[in-house]
């Protein structure tokens, strides 16, 4: 799944789903496992950038908020990863302010398979 095992060998991955339907939510991929001593939900979104910067930012933040609500419903920590071209990452990075301590956000190039920034709880990594 998006190079998770290659990028983060310290992560435990117990199961993975691709394009799973969670009611009205449809993340591009999900994994359940452990990271840095916490049970975690790894949530992946891939964005090609076929929209305005404002639309991309609001769409990405809405997906992040939905992912956070879903993870909290099951008492998981959340690792939210967005794979996208550089200009998309630049457009959305400002929307991730004040992350809670049980959340990590990773923004990475969608061409950099297996080379994701290592998440940190309460941090955004890869914001260029």
Query: pLDDT tens-digit profile of 67-86?
Result: 999 999 999 999 999 999 99
What pLDDT digit, counting tens, does each position of 46-69 carry?
Answer: 988 888 888 999 999 999 999 999
Whole-angstrom distance, CA of residue 16 vs CA of residue 127: 25
% of the chain beyond a pLDDT of 90: 53
Helix (H, G, I), strand (E, B) or coil at 106: strand
Number of domains in the chain: 1
Element (H, E) at 87: helix 86-92
Token pair 């799973």 is found at 20
Res 12: pLDDT: 84
Do the domain assignments include residue 8?
yes
Quick check: is 127 in a domain? Answer: no
Instruction: Answer whether residue 125 is part of any domain.
Output: no
Q: What is the mean pLDDT of the chain?
A: 88
- Residue 82 structural domain: 4-38+47-117
Residue 66 belongs to a domain: yes
Nearby residues of 18 by Cβ (< 8 Å), 6 or more positions away: 1, 28, 29
53 within some domain: yes
Whole-number pLDDT of residue 61: 94
């Amino acid at each position: 799944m998006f190079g998770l095992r290659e990028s983060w060998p310290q992560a435990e991955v117990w199961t993975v789903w691709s394009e799973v339907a969670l009611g009205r939510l449809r993340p591009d991929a999900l994994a359940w496992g452990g990271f840095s001593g916490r049970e975690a939900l790894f949530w992946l979104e891939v964005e090609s950038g076929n929209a305005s910067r404002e639309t991309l930012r609001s769409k990405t933040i809405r997906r992040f908020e939905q992912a956070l609500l879903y993870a909290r419903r099951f008492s998981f920590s959340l690792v939210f990863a967005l794979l996208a071209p550089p200009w998309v990452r630049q457009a959305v990075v400002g929307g991730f302010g004040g992350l809670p301590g049980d959340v990590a956000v990773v923004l990475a190039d969608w061409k950099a398979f297996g080379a994701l920034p290592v998440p940190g709880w309460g941090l955004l990594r890869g914001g260029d």
